[in-house]
Structure 1
């Protein structure tokens, strides 16, 4: 496909769901209107701009590439209503409205972190809308199904249940048990937290399978990262990933909504289980699926844990790639990731 301009444009979708409140989804778009549609769905914390390098890459190759500010982020509606951020509300309300706004009936869906939970929910509930599914770090069949979808898959050699009941997901339980105070911790210095969160992941030691990530002991410590507040921007020495317009826009997006709405994604495990769980929903996925393992991701550990097992059992046409990066694989290794996704799509969708 010919190279072309990749300027990002802004768009807005309005929709109602459940309580008839008029909500909006803001999204960035690039590439030809008639190109194959690829939708990038961010996680926590995130916003549409964190997919900048993917939007530009795929638009330049003829795709219609879009990325929404998910509900609770950036320019999208960000109410302090926890149920707005259940998988049901996100999919049946926001994602179906977004897809309809493009004038298409199906897309290539790419999700990262909680965004992978959303893309997995779309594939579960509306498989006809998914030409191909690409999940980064969080496999299909896990986080979108509530606690039962991922807690039993913790590596108990690393996290014995007697000492680490919730394994590396201890921070999620912290959100459930102490939500307002946990949100307040982040909001003491949002730019400082985001600069820390956006630091490149260093290569772990050779025995990293025995490294205990700090997210496994949050409730015991009482504070995240062992401190009463996030570090200030000037206290974080390294340059953040996407330093410049990407990072600055991202910080502005999070400051616009605060932490509460995005953090409320962690308050819906029961609702998500009711929506996606149960044997009747454990259908096989027949569309092509690509899963990208981030080799250095100690929280969403798919290399030494059993977290990828439900995906492998459910996907009829599964491709797996491993990239040497931490959790923010799309920001740490954008060229490697983009090439892997493009190679997968060329092999699976050529001529379809």
Structure 2
């Protein structure tokens, strides 16, 4: 269930339907939160009320293939160019020229692509875990950045990204295993970060070697819920949506690397981002590992000209595991970097 004061909406842009949650004054400066795999708009449940309280209009859509947004049955319908089109369509439907965009996981490539193809629609952009100039450019873009001290090439050809090759080689199997017990799948996935994993190969690097997810089992094991990330009610909401729609759409985000690379190559400004950019690294995210590896180098050294970097001691599901820390970093950055997009206090002459 959405938090108090968060309302539910749908808009149609052409043949596509986008469901979204919204909070805050309708005329407040717009901030759009973009979720990743395998989540929902409710993944931003800890952020929407906070931005509402500061006077923003905070919006979080279900991405295509998820929740109550349109679901498609072909891989190519989940390419980044089409998903970015959904987001620009949402912005148009809201009657706005621009927004602050915030993404996580596969939502990060979407936000990076909005910024690099439609900079005029961005007041600023922020992303959690996935840095710029990486996965939005296709899988090949990250292979040269793999830490070969942790992932020797003869054992892990694609490093921590081995699981993405498994989707390409065994898509039907990967999807069937996740759908065999959706509740257990999401219960296993949504877990807090573990400091003990630092410097060791990530679980995602083992997927091909083990013959699939969950060590090659036919379904996810029944592990206890991690109460530091999700409540039982939230877990059931995720499981219900993924049971209804299946994993074909979410998993198809991994099936368009070549098309995504071609789209990224058409970015404006040669891919350089001039607007304010915030990147929040997760210390214990061992797939999107940016603390000791070179994964964030293109973003930090070259392509973001107004970049703020922060780090939070969390795992991959940062916005849900460490919401207070995420909200603090995000709001401080907005105060420091986005004076023009900050809510304007009402004065007598405004009435």
Q: Secondary structure at the match of 1:204?
A: helix
Task: Say whether 1:58 aligns with 2:46.
Answer: no
Which whole-Å deviations, capped at 9, do the CAs of 1:8-62 have from their partners, x for residues lacking one?
Answer: 111112123xxxxx22110110100011111000000111011111111111111
Compute the displacement of 1:244 (Å).
3.9
On the 8 A contact 1:72/1:79 being kept in 2, the answer is: yes
Q: Secondary structure at the match of 1:246?
A: helix
Q: Secondary structure at the match of 2:178?
A: helix
In structure 1, stretches of 5+ residues that fail to align are: 17-21
Q: Tell me the residue number matched to 2:156.
A: 164
Q: Tell me the residue number matched to 1:121.
A: 113
Q: Tell me the residue number matched to 2:254.
A: 266
Compute the displacement of 1:232 (Å).
4.9
On the 8 A contact 1:32/1:63 being kept in 2, the answer is: yes
Which whole-Å deviations, capped at 9, do the CAs of 1:99-141 have from their partners, x for residues lacking one?
Answer: 1111101000000000000000101110011111101000111
On the 8 A contact 2:178/2:220 being kept in 1, the answer is: no
Distance 1:149 1:181 in 2: 26
Change (3 A) 1:96 1:351: closer
On the 8 A contact 1:27/1:48 being kept in 2, the answer is: yes
Distance 1:322 1:228 in 2: 35
Q: Tell me the residue number matched to 2:104.
A: 112
Q: Tell me the residue number matched to 2:336.
A: 347
Distance 2:171 2:269 in 1: 30
From 19, 26, 51, the counterpart of 1:26: 19
Which whole-Å deviations, capped at 9, do the CAs of 1:305-350 have from their partners, x for residues lacking one?
Answer: 1111111210110000000000011111000000100000011112
In structure 2, stretches of 5+ residues that fail to align are: 342-351
On the 8 A contact 1:240/1:247 being kept in 2, the answer is: no
Which whole-Å deviations, capped at 9, do the CAs of 1:143-196 have from their partners, x for residues lacking one?
Answer: 110123212111111112122110000000000111011100101111101011
On the 8 A contact 2:228/2:321 being kept in 1, the answer is: no
Q: Tell me the residue number matched to 1:10.
A: 8
Distance 1:50 1:280 in 2: 30
From 290, 294, 312, the counterpart of 1:323: 312
Q: Tell me the residue number matched to 1:301.
A: 289
Q: Secondary structure at the match of 2:13?
A: strand
Q: Secondary structure at the match of 1:65?
A: strand
**Most deviating of 139-148 and 222-231:** 222-231
Runs of 4+, deviation exceeding 6 Å: 278-281
From 203, 227, 230, the counterpart of 1:239: 227
From 76, 99, 106, the counterpart of 2:69: 76
Q: Secondary structure at the match of 2:8?
A: strand
**Most deviating of 114-123 and 194-203:** 194-203
Compute the displacement of 1:251 (Å).
2.0
On the 8 A contact 1:52/1:246 being kept in 2, the answer is: no
Change (3 A) 1:294 1:82: same
Q: Tell me the residue number matched to 1:310.
A: 298
Compute the displacement of 1:204 (Å).
2.4
Distance 2:168 2:330 in 1: 35
Compute the displacement of 1:227 (Å).
4.1
From 180, 185, 210, the counterpart of 1:221: 210
Distance 1:73 1:279 in 2: 26
Distance 2:159 2:270 in 1: 25
Distance 2:68 2:303 in 1: 35
Q: Tell me the residue number matched to 1:282.
A: 270
Change (3 A) 1:254 1:237: closer
Which whole-Å deviations, capped at 9, do the CAs of 1:64-94 have from their partners, x for residues lacking one?
Answer: 00000000000011111111210101012x1
